[in-house]
Structure 1
Amino acid sequence: MFTGIIETLGVVTKLEKEQENLHISLESEITQELKIDQSVAHNGVCLTVVGINGKEYTVTAIKETIDKTAVGDWVVGEQVNLERAMKLGDRLDGHIVQGHVDETGVCKRIEDAEGSTIFTFEYNSNSENITIEKGSITVNGVSLTVVNSKKNEFSVAIIPYTLEHTMFKNLKIGTIINLEFDVLGKYVARLHGFKSA
């Protein structure tokens, strides 16, 4: 479990295909604190550390992860949001995040709002995933509050600190992003048999 509060950025240093798996090596300031078998969220995707070599560590994405997330689009040199799993007893500063991406979306608009930046994202119109106004959403692992919720579209307001300390500063219109919808909302929707309109 994660909180969606990003600890630091990592940089992709190597991508290596092995059959249908993708081994991803990254360099990060938290590498020395990691251990083999530890779960780390990478742009919201929970991946297990399988190797550590100096300042670099390696994780492996299987075919399902590659198919359902933006991991397959990563390139060497790309910055990735990183968060280690939360500890029991810690404050839950964001919201409950599983690290299980529901689907990808695309950045449609970026607007300056005089003190914050508004990012608008669109996701599959056939999806049963939903957002609600002022509800929680995870975009590339960042816990955010939904504004302007619409059918298969929503916006988030990013404060300057978050913009500077996450990969949001690198987003462009057309960038594919990972989305994890609020787990509590998913359970409520399922219990009530809700399907998006």
Structure 2
Amino acid sequence: MFTGLIQGVGRVARVEPLGGDVRLHIEVGSLPFDVVEMGESIAVNGTCLTVVAFDAQSFSADASNETLSLTTLGTLAVGSLVNLERALRASDRLGGHWVSGHVDGMGTVKQIDDDARAQRWRFEVPSALTRYIAKKGSICVDGVSLTVNEADAQGFEVALIPHTVEHTAFKTTRVGDAVNIEVDLVARYVERLLLDKELT
């Protein structure tokens, strides 16, 4: 589990084709990386990946064809900046919201406007996801926990404060770029509970 509070911005050092899928080699950049274990989970742009190799400045993780087709990881190039978060520990503060690292789909940046010192971003998402997005609810975009300002049948809007833009890969994101979207887990479970109730 993760919180959606980005701990560092890394960089794709190498994309290695391997046995039909790929192994990503990520330089950790500003991510605290003093103690790391083989097999631990790290969210890369909101996608939970497993560490299969590491050194003091980088780690490697395998991405299956399923992951590559359903997330933006399949479009990463050498030099791409990525948002990084290590898995939540029981003693950590939960400052964002519960994030699983299981991406629900991809969205598109449709508009970026200045709003005083902040920026207002609009995202378009697949219609299958809009039912889970509510005004003032939580949403995870490329691994970043955000509050939904507005939501409609095509997508949603959020406000990004200067700190968020400066300390995430959003600083290089542009209109037209694809992003990973994970809806709030609570919405998913509520829907399932209601469906089970209807079937009984």
TM-score range normalised by the length of the shorter chain? over 0.9
Match of 1:6 in 2: 6
Percent identity, aligned pairs only? 40
Question: What stretches of structure 1 of length at least 5 have no aligned partner?
Answer: none
- Whether contact under 8 Å (1:32, 1:55) holds in the other structure is no
TM-score when scaled to structure 2? 0.92
Match of 2:133 among 131, 141, 151: 131
Spell out, residue by residue over 1:130-162, the C-alpha distance to the aligned partner (whole angstroms, 9 max, x if none): 200000000000000001111130011000001
Match of 2:198 in 1: none
Deviates more, 1:32-41 or 1:130-139: 32-41
Distance (Å, rounded) in 1 between the aligned partners of 2:180 and 2:129: 14
Is residue 43 from structure 1 mapped to residue 45 from structure 2 by the alignment?
A: yes
After superposition, residues 12-51 of structure 1 pair within 5 angstroms as 12-28=12-28, 29=30, 30-51=32-53
- Whether contact under 8 Å (1:12, 1:76) holds in the other structure is yes
Distance (Å, rounded) in 2 between the aligned partners of 1:100 and 1:186: 12
Match of 2:155 in 1: 153
Spell out, residue by residue over 1:92-125, the C-alpha distance to the aligned partner (whole angstroms, 9 max, x if none): 1000000000001000000000111011101112
Distance (Å, rounded) in 1 between the aligned partners of 2:192 and 2:175: 32
- Whether contact under 8 Å (2:148, 2:158) holds in the other structure is yes
Q: Residue type matched to 2:12 in 1?
A: V
RMSD (Å) for aligned C-alpha atoms: 1.4
Q: CA deviation at 1:89?
A: 2.6
- What secondary structure, in the 3-state scheme, does the structure 2 residue paired with 1:101 have? coil
Is residue 96 from structure 1 mapped to residue 111 from structure 2 by the alignment?
A: no
Distance (Å, rounded) in 2 between the aligned partners of 1:154 and 1:128: 8
- Whether contact under 8 Å (1:47, 1:59) holds in the other structure is yes
Distance (Å, rounded) in 1 between the aligned partners of 2:55 and 2:91: 31
Match of 1:167 in 2: 169
Distance (Å, rounded) in 2 between the aligned partners of 1:64 and 1:176: 17
Match of 2:108 in 1: 106
Question: What stretches of structure 2 of length at least 5 have no aligned partner?
Answer: 196-200
